[in-house]
A and B are shown apart, each in its own frame.
Chain A
Amino acid sequence: MKRRDFHLLAGGSLALGLAAPSVVRAQARRSLAFVVNVSADFWTIARRGIERANREHPDFEMEMIIPSQASAAEQRRILDELLARRVAGVAISAINPASQTDVLNRVAEQSVLFTTDSDAPASNRLVYIGTDNVAAGRSAGEQMKKAMPEGGRAMLFVGTMDADNARERVQGIREALRGSNIEIADIRTDESDFARARRNAEDALARERNLGMMVGLWAYNTPQIYQAVREAGRQGQVKIVGFDEDALTLRGVADGTIHSTVVQQPYEFGYQSMKGLVRVINGDRGWIPQNKQVIVETKVIDRTNVGEFQSYMRNLLRGS
């Protein structure tokens, strides 16, 4: 279904190219870009939100851009190119906001800049639309306590700890665990290499015979943990709490191996970011709150609501 969209898109622009001279075409559709950090199903859902916004505003050209590497340098290159193309608005999930302030401010000067998913509060972004990751971490921490009320050792898994959303989630988890008897034994990183993520989970199970819990902080971590735990035959003995809504994660929640997963609403990230950009470009800034944050709430998916959520996801991924 993915590629059918592509063909449609290609066909559409071809038809446009035939119909109108190129100068007119360049001015006719202002472009909006949604720059993400790494390719994941998570962003496929956001793409559905963007597509809906695009259907409501066909006078804009909205695209999602995925960096070839999850690095701030690569995002910088993308942003430079977007500015060169005179992009009208950008929503970005900043990989390393602290180091990206300069380039983000340049985008904010020459275009309209939103942040999404991962905020860059030091920059001149107009607004952040996304999750409060500390709150999401706290929510995961509560789930950890529910899954392992007797306490024990927990290990966390994530792509890189220099990403703010990783650090904030860990901070939230630590806040929620304060005073409980769950101990965070270690945090392992995998540089977004899925095979390494799987290996980290396997090695953790081999290293700690009395490991009580594993937590996957990024979308792909939880499925890798799920598979490693099943392979080792330690379902039930090792509790799992995750983030996001990978198909395997949901399967794990449904079969009881995974206690619960904290999901964001990327569809809303995509939809609200694009709608917001259009409004700002049309001169409407009144909707932006004082603290410049539009928080999209997270939800906890556990055994009770996973079936319903699975079918919702399938419909979204299949195409809108």
Chain B
Amino acid sequence: MGRKEIGLLGLIVVIAAVTSVLNPQFLSSVNLMNMANLIGLFGIFAIGQGLVIITGGIDLSVGSIFALLGVIFLDLVVNHEVAWPIAVLVVLFGGLLLGWLHGLLVTRAGLQPFVVTLCGLLIYRGAARYYTGDSTISLGYADNVDALIWLAAGRSYGIPHSFIALVLVAIVVGVVLHRSVFGRYLFAVGRNEEATRYSGIRTGAVVTGAYVLGGLLAGLSTVLLVFYTSSVSPSSFGNFYELYAIAAAVLGGCSLRGGEGSVPGIVLGTVLLQILQNLVNILGIPSSLNFAVMGGVILVGALADRHLTRRRVAAPPARAAGAMAPAE
């Protein structure tokens, strides 16, 4: 783990410690497992978002993708009684396809990622609402999906499956990003696309790959989220969730300029965001302050990070002289 991740971990530990002093229920296994569940739900697509951000892009369409794939999924399972493995495959493939489309529009058509995915945000939300005729689809009357409910929303040894899914995804993507040639290319494209292209790397394919992976992870998250809420309201499902993912990625050390970031960092960013929302409830802070608390802590974290980075840049001479050096 790098310096940023350790700093973030420190912040998480401090906040967790303060919260648990104020209300010991924070550390109860019930609460920790609830949080683990939410960390799993939000972490998986945050990792996808992180990959895109590392290439210097951004994906604003995630929340709308959830709504669109969510209503398609429930429609297949509830109204058309399609076998759930097929419905899950449809959703995963759908996410992959949308990601691929975004990648093509960014690399082939030369559109800016912000524009492409902003259009996605609008189009998919509208499509989801049209598809359902603006009505909520609920799992309420479906009876043939018990196995899937267990798989997506169940627990093994008390650990929520969404959290296990996150761990698996983090390991796989972590290896891809930090240990594979493709991962090196992702960072290279994010740092300097032109230079990367001139080194003979097919940058278009690399960037598209990031969007495809992001889309696939969004598809996976859709299934998990649907079983968390048990119903999908096409106008509100997943609203603003892209911002949670972007916040988690940025907290975790991804630079919106691209070329920086790590999977452990993104996961820790998600952990911090979920802890913040949990502590608002656990400490009985008025719900109205929820977003303000989140924004405040992110701002403080960003300022502290900036401050430390500057000190580190200024520090090397002092370290050479054997004086106090910041932990590396």
The answer to whether the Cβ of B249 comes within 8 Å of any Cβ in the partner chain is no
Stretch at the interface among A81-89, A146-154, A194-202: A194-202
A232-264 with Cβ < 8 A to chain B: 232, 246-248, 250-251
The answer, among B134, B284, B288, for a CB contact under 8 Å with A39, is B134
A-B contact pairs, 22 of them (CB 8 A): A3-B131, A3-B133, A39-B233, A43-B134, A44-B135, A68-B125, A68-B129, A69-B235, A187-B287, A192-B233, A193-B236, A195-B38, A195-B229, A202-B34, A203-B281, A205-B30, A206-B30, A207-B281, A220-B136, A223-B138, A247-B141, A248-B139
Enumerate B106-143 residues with CB–CB distance to A below 8 Å: 125, 129-136, 138-141
B248: shortest Cβ distance to chain A, in Å?
15
- The answer to whether B233 touches A40 (Cβ under 8 A) is yes
Complex alpha-carbon distance, A96 and B231, angstroms: 26
Residue of A whose beta carbon sits closest to that of B154: A231
**Shortest beta-carbon distance from A67 to chain B in Å:** 7
Is the CB–CB distance between B236 and A44 below 8 Å? no
Q: Are B287 and A67 in contact (CB under 8 A)?
A: no
Please give, as numbers and ranges, the residues of chain A lying within 8 Å of B233 by CB-CB distance: 38-40, 192, 194, 220
Task: Known A-B contacts: A3-B131, A39-B129. Give 18 more (CB < 8 A).
Answer: A3-B133, A5-B133, A38-B236, A39-B135, A39-B136, A64-B134, A66-B134, A68-B125, A69-B236, A192-B236, A195-B38, A198-B228, A199-B278, A203-B282, A204-B281, A206-B282, A207-B282, A251-B140
Task: Give the residues in chain A near B132, CB-CB below 8 Å.
Answer: 2
Q: Which 4 A-B pairs have the closest CB atoms?
A: A247-B140, A203-B281, A206-B31, A194-B229
Chain B CB count within 10 A is highest, among A188, A190, A199, A209, for A199
Given A39-B135, A39-B236, CB of A203 within 8 Å of CB of B31: yes
Write out the residue numbers on chain B whose beta carbons fall within 8 Å of the beta carbon of A196: 277
What residues on A are CB-neighbors of B230 within 8 Å?
Answer: 223, 227, 248
Contact call B236/A199, Cβ cutoff below 8 A: no
The answer to the question of B41 belonging to the interface, with a C-beta cut-off of 8 Å to chain A, is yes
The answer to whether A38 touches B235, judged by C-beta atoms less than 8 angstroms apart, is yes
B180 within 8 A of A: no
- Complex formed: what's the CA distance from A36 to B250 in Å? 37
A224 within 8 A of B: yes
The reply to whether B231 and A6 contact each other, CB–CB distance below 8 Å, is: no
- 8 A Cβ contacts from B230-258 to A: 230-237, 239-240
Residues of A close to B278: CB separation below 8 A = 199, 203
Question: Interface of chain A, helix or strand or loop or mixed?
Answer: helix
Digitize B49-84: 1 where CB-to-A-CB distance is under 8 Å, 0 elsewhere. Answer: 000000000000000000000000000000100000
Residue of B nearest to A234 (CB): B30
Contact assessment for B138 and A188 in the assembled complex, using a CB-CB cutoff below 8 Å: no
B287-A190 in contact (CB<8A): yes
A residues in contact with B277, CB < 8 Å? 196, 199
Q: State the CA gap A39–B136 with chains docked (Å).
A: 6
A residues 137-168 touching B (CB-CB < 8 Å): 161
Interface residues of A in 257-292 (CB under 8 A from B): none
Inter-chain CA distance A5–B131, complex, in Å, is 12
The reply to whether the CB of A186 lies closer than 8 angstroms to some CB of chain B is yes
Asked whether any CB of chain A lies closer than 8 Å to the CB of B309, the reply is no
**Once the chains are docked, how many angstroms separate the CA of A223 from the CA of B229?**
9
Is A70 located at the chain interface by the 8 A CB criterion?
yes
Q: Are A68 and B138 also in contact (CB < 8 A) when A199-B277, A209-B25, A248-B230 are?
A: no
Interface pair A246/B235, CB less than 8 Å apart = no
Q: Which residues of B contact A101 (CB under 8 A)?
A: none
Contact of B136 with A189 in the complex, beta carbons under 8 Å: no
**Which B residues lie within 8 Å of A194 (CB)?**
229, 231-233, 236-237
B28 close to A (CB within 8 Å): yes
- Are B41 and A195 closer than 8 Å at their CB atoms? yes
Q: Are A198 and B229 in touch, CB under 8 angstroms?
A: yes
Is B30 within 8 A of A232, CB to CB?
yes
A223 to B28, CA, bound (A): 24
Q: Which positions 174-232 of chain A face chain B at CB distance < 8 Å? A: 186-190, 192-200, 202-207, 209, 220, 223-224, 227, 232
Please measure, in the bound complex, the distance between the C-alpha atom of A31 and the C-alpha atom of B253, giving whole angstroms. Answer: 53
The answer to whether B236 touches A189 (Cβ under 8 A) is no
CA separation between A92 and B237, bound complex, in Å? Answer: 23
B28 proximity list for chain A (CB < 8 A): 206
Name the B residues within 8 Å of A64 (CB-CB). Answer: 134
Find the A residue at minimum CB distance from B138. Answer: A247
Q: Would A188 and B231 count as touching, CB distance under 8 A?
A: no
Q: Is the CB of B281 within 8 A of A189?
A: no
In the bound complex, how far is the Cα of B112 from the Cα of A256, in angstroms? 54
Q: Which residues of the other chain, A, contact B130 by a CB distance below 8 angstroms?
A: 6
- Report the minimal beta-carbon distance from A72 to chain B, rounded to whole angstroms: 15
The reply on A61 being an interface residue by CB < 8 A is: no
Pick the most buried of B125, B233, B236: most chain A CB atoms within 10 A of its CB.
B236
- Which chain A residue shows the least CB distance to B37? A202
Question: In the complex, which residue of chain B has the Cβ closest to the Cβ of A250?
Answer: B140
* Interface membership of B23, Cβ < 8 A: yes
Chain A residues lying within 8 Å of B135, measured Cβ to Cβ, are: 2, 39-41, 43-44, 47
C-alpha gap A297/B180 in the complex (Å) = 65
Chain B residues, Cβ within 8 Å of A198:
228-229
A contact residues around B129 at 8 Å (CB): 39, 66, 68
Q: Which of B23, B234, B287 lies in contact with A207, CB distance below 8 A?
A: B23
Contact A200 B287 (CB under 8 A): yes
The reply to whether the CB of B263 lies closer than 8 angstroms to some CB of chain A is no
**B98 on the A face (CB < 8 A):** no
B206 within 8 A of partner (CB): no
Determine the chain B residues whose CB is within 8 A of the CB of A190 once the complex forms: 287
Are A203 and B34 touching (Cβ within 8 A)? yes
In the complex, B218 has a CB within 8 A of chain A:
no
